[in-house]
Amino acid sequence: MPDTNEIKKTTFSDDKVRIKDIAVLANVSAGTVDRVIHNRGGVAPDSKKRIEDILQELNFKPNRMARVLAIKKDYKLVVLLPEAAQGDYWWDIIKGIKRAEEEVSDYRVKTEVLQFNQYSMESFATLAQRLLDLTPDGVLMAPFFRREVLKLTKELEERNIPFVFVDSNVESVNCLAYYGQQSHQSGYVAAKIMLGNLEKSSTILLVHMMREGGEAIGSNQTAKREEGFLAYIEKYSLELSYQLVRVNLHAEDESGNEAHLEEIFRQHQNIRGIIMFNSRIYRIADFLEKRKIKNIRLIGYDLLERNVQYLKSGVIECLIAQRPQLQGYYGLTALARRLAFHQPSKPVCYMPIDILFKENINDYKVYPFDVD
């Protein structure tokens, strides 16, 4: 009859150490070792010391599989993001989340996604409350509406619920982790690509998009991108080489935008470059296509389907991407790893600034196993 309590042979150096093994070595039962591991108290000081030493020495790591299997608790994660439509930026973040969800469902982690209207603070506030009502064990969010976010995160901190930011960060708040791009630097990169070989004294449009109230869309990312863009110009003293024209479009006013652009094009004959600091560069492309305007270098952000189409067809010269899927994926797994395995995360993780031309867009993917 095989003795299941025998210590595993250590012929292969990396044979896993079990609680049982520790117990035998420390001359106690598995239960006592378990109590030490989980700091559950009720262990005599000398036993504790002895066990801790052995744990340390053998570098004991509990078997995740057994651990997850034995724990009955389900973890509820709630995700708070703007409404997403197929092919847009937030959709990609959600794709990453879904993928992570699949992976961590083994660990008894479940996810619920709440989507607010990114132009409505009320919508955010309402869902923030709904989120709290769901008593989640962890939260992933895109921090829109600073004041509301502060209110929410304060509450979460009080309840000891870890939360993760994606897309943009809120300094001064103690999140578990943040995944997003350094906006300033990505604007700097955009400038490099735009100005690398643009003929001198030409005009460049810097396009922003406003919402109703006149506030810029895209939290404060777009502003920082422009700062980065301008920083590049300053760095290489190009202020006098190009004429920069700032253009403000309005999210909801399609025809107004067209008129406005028409006017800009009338005023400026030598427009050779256009950069848009949010993800809607395809709108500019639409405008140019319709009027058969060519030879303008378009640079924009994010791989929206429509952007990618224009990139492939050569209307857009370059897109800068920030791996939204990975932001979602890593954001969620960070929470799961924290909850299920008590693993820490880097508090801030900047996404690479990916440069996409039509020449390298085809092989650009985030997961090798993607099917869609």
Partner DNA sequence: TATACGCTTGTGCACGGACACAAAATTATA
Partner DNA sequence: TATAATTTTGTGTCCGTGCACAAGCGTATA
Residues in the chain: 372
- Per DSSP, what are the bridge partners of residue 208? 248
For residue 210, the minimal CB distance to a second copy (Å) is 28
60 vs 287 by CB, closer to DNA: 60
Which residues have a Cβ under 8 Å from the Cβ of 56 and sit 6 or more positions away? none
For residue 260, what is the enclosing H or E element? helix 254-267
> Half-sphere exposure of residue 152, counting CA atoms within 13 Å on the CB side?
33
How many residues touch DNA (CB under 7 A)? Answer: 32
42 vs 196 by CB, closer to a second copy: 196
CA Rg, the chain, in Å?
Answer: 26
Segment lying near a second copy (by CB under 8 A), choices 41-49, 174-182, 207-215, 299-307: 174-182
- Per DSSP, what are the bridge partners of residue 249? 209
Contacted entry of DNA, a second copy, none for residue 146, CB cut-off 5 to 8 Å set by kind: none
Check binding of 350 to a second copy (CB under 8 A).
yes
Check binding of 118 to a second copy (CB under 8 A).
no
Check binding of 363 to a second copy (CB under 8 A).
yes
The CA distance from 84 to 96, in Å, is 13
Residue whose tokens read 């559950």: 40
Q: Where are the beta strands (DSSP E) in the chain?
A: 75-82, 109-116, 138-141, 163-167, 177-180, 203-210, 243-250, 271-276, 297-301, 318-321, 348-350, 354-356
For residue 7, the minimal CB distance to DNA (Å) is 11
- Structure letter (DSSP) for residue 73: -
Answer yes or no: are the C-beta atoms of 102 and 111 closer than 8 Å.
no
Please give the residues from 297 up to 326 whose contact with a second copy meets the rule CB under 8 A: 326
Check binding of 5 to a second copy (CB under 8 A).
no
Please give the residues from 217 up to 246 whose contact with a second copy meets the rule CB under 8 A: none
For residue 56, what is the enclosing H or E element? helix 45-58
For residue 354, the minimal CB distance to a second copy (Å) is 7
Contacted entry of DNA, a second copy, none for residue 290, CB cut-off 5 to 8 Å set by kind: none
Segment lying near a second copy (by CB under 8 A), choices 18-26, 48-56, 140-148, 345-353: 345-353
Q: Where are the beta strands (DSSP E) in 211-315?
A: 243-250, 271-276, 297-301
Check binding of 9 to a second copy (CB under 8 A).
no
90 vs 188 by CB, closer to a second copy: 188
Which residues have a Cβ under 8 Å from the Cβ of 234 and sit 6 or more positions away? none
- Comparing CA positions, the residue from 308, 324, 348, 320 lying closest to residue 99 is 324
Please give the residues from 14 up to 73 whose contact with DNA meets the rule CB under 7 A: 16, 18-20, 27-32, 34-35, 37-38, 42-45, 47-48, 62-63, 66-67, 69-73
For residue 348, the minimal CB distance to a second copy (Å) is 10
Q: Which residues bind DNA (CB under 7 A)?
A: 2, 4, 8, 16, 18-20, 27-32, 34-35, 37-38, 42-45, 47-48, 62-63, 66-67, 69-73
Q: Which residues bind a second copy (CB under 8 A)?
A: 12, 14, 63-66, 68-69, 105-107, 110, 179, 181-182, 185-186, 188-189, 192, 196-197, 326, 330, 345-346, 349-355, 357, 359-360, 362-365, 368-369
